[in-house]
Structure 1
Amino acid sequence: MIRIIAAVLLLVFGGPTAMAADEPPHRILGRDGNIELRLYAPMILAEVEVTGSMRTAGNRGFRPLGNYIFGGNTARSGDGSNAIAMTTPVMQQRSQEIAMTTPVIQQATSDESWRVAFVMPPEWTMDTLPIPDDARVELVEQPERLVAAIRFSGGANEARFMAKTEELRDYLTAQGFEIVSTAMYARYDPPWVPTPFRRNEVMFEVARVG
């Protein structure tokens, strides 16, 4: 069904283009200005639940997940640990419903509770990923999904994310899309990248066209 939906949405957005090399596997089905439609392949997330403000929760979630991918884990063979490459973006989601994709994902499960996740590189599977040493870190499989994203540069503060959330929501509603997730807030660049050049996004999962 989702492949049929994606084909229909090509009529709105245009033809497919390639993804960036360090992002989770996906196809860009089309663009309309600063908005993209993407079909993400199935992926595995390393997730942790934290509390706090958007900024505080992001920092709290990053630490145990960073520790996991940098060697705070036990190989499935029981012999030592494994380092895992980190991909982009870091994502943060305020929701009581659904978590989404990509290297670091943050999802709220209540007003001040968030689900933060890193997307695992595609060469890893549930059978080969090392076991987290921190019991708070959970490995979760995500299915293929269709996502609309709006891109913006500069500082990734909460006010800007909220403004872009409403802009994307209004656009999707006007275009007849059905939104099936809460907003996902994505940061692509490390802190040392100058603020004006940082890439940020808001994303929604889309189920079908009305």
Structure 2
Amino acid sequence: MGSKVLKVNVFFCIFVSFFFSCQVMAIEEPKFKILVDAGELEIRSYDEYLVAETGVEGSFDTASRKGFRRVAGYIFGENKNSIGQSEKIQMTAPVTVKPDNEGWVLHFVMPSNYDMSQLPVPNNSGVSLKKIEAHLAAVIIFSGFTTDSKIQKKTEELKAWLEKQNFEIAGPQQIARYNDPFTLPWLRRNEIIFKVTAKN
């Protein structure tokens, strides 16, 4: 009996992960073109996009949790639109975290059907709206968990690859995660991203 229950639970977890992974793959992401494709390593040209972001202190994991709850609250209705009503905003991918001074900044990308004047105003003063200008980015894609050691390893791999390319780093690393917590590690899509500029 116990083994049957275990098999059912394992199957259910796999099904839930597969379902949510498919859902995540279908949701909107920032628009970009791939300029250099080297498998898990890419140079991309991003269009401009809008984000809702918040600054958080603490460790990477602590900041990720606190920041996620804060910005998720904004898109789930903790806001006021132009007629003073709460408005739910569609979830997009990825959720991105980057170091900033002594803390972190976490942001959600806003759906492309909004411009800055159409986005509702956050109720929480810790959430702000910002436009990210069009830019070039170097990216390394990987699966699994975003542990400190994994982030460091992949960041070093990306930097080593960039040394051989005609681009240079123009900003801090960003850790981008595309999946929900139900997704099995080997099905997850994570990225380390650096804004870059072309070398003269």
Shorter-chain TM-score range: 0.7 to 0.9
Q: 1:133 aligns with which of 123, 148, 151?
A: 123
Q: 1:75 aligns with which of 73, 81, 85?
A: 81
Aligned partners of 1:184, 1:20: CA distance in 2, in Å?
22
Conserved in 1, the CA contact under 8 Å of 2:76 and 2:89? yes
Q: Which has the higher contact order (CA 8 A, sep 6+)?
A: 2
Conserved in 1, the CA contact under 8 Å of 2:27 and 2:93? no
1:67 counterpart letter in structure 2: G
Could you tell me how far 1:156 is from its partner in structure 2?
1.4
Which structure 1 segments of 5+ residues have no match? 1-18, 95-107
Identity of aligned residues (%): 39
Name the Cα RMSD after superposition.
1.5
- Paired residue secondary structure (1:174): coil
Are 2:80 and 1:90 equivalent residues in the alignment?
no
Q: 1:184 aligns with which of 166, 174, 180?
A: 174
Aligned partners of 1:20, 1:148: CA distance in 2, in Å?
23
Count of matched residue positions in the alignment of Structure 1 and Structure 2? 176
Normalised to the residue count of structure 1, the TM-score between the two structures is: 0.80
Are 2:188 and 1:201 equivalent residues in the alignment?
no
Q: 2:41 aligns with which of 32, 35, 38?
A: 35
Aligned pairs for 1:29-178 (under 5 A) are: 29-78=35-84, 80-94=85-99, 108-110=100-102, 113-178=103-168
Could you tell me how far 1:20 is from its partner in structure 2?
7.2
- Paired residue secondary structure (1:185): strand
Normalised to the residue count of structure 2, the TM-score between the two structures is: 0.84
Could you tell me how far 1:22 is from its partner in structure 2?
2.0
* Structure 1 runs, 4 residues or longer, greater than 3 Å off: none
Aligned partners of 1:55, 1:208: CA distance in 2, in Å?
33
Larger radius of gyration: 2
2:101 counterpart letter in structure 1: T
Conserved in 1, the CA contact under 8 Å of 2:27 and 2:92? no
Aligned partners of 2:28, 2:168: CA distance in 1, in Å?
29
1:180 counterpart letter in structure 2: A
Conserved in 1, the CA contact under 8 Å of 2:28 and 2:92? yes
Report the counterpart of residue 18 of structure 2 in structure 1. none
Q: Which has the higher helix share?
A: 2
Which structure 2 segments of 5+ residues have no match? 1-24
Aligned partners of 2:45, 2:164: CA distance in 1, in Å?
21
Aligned partners of 2:83, 2:133: CA distance in 1, in Å?
27
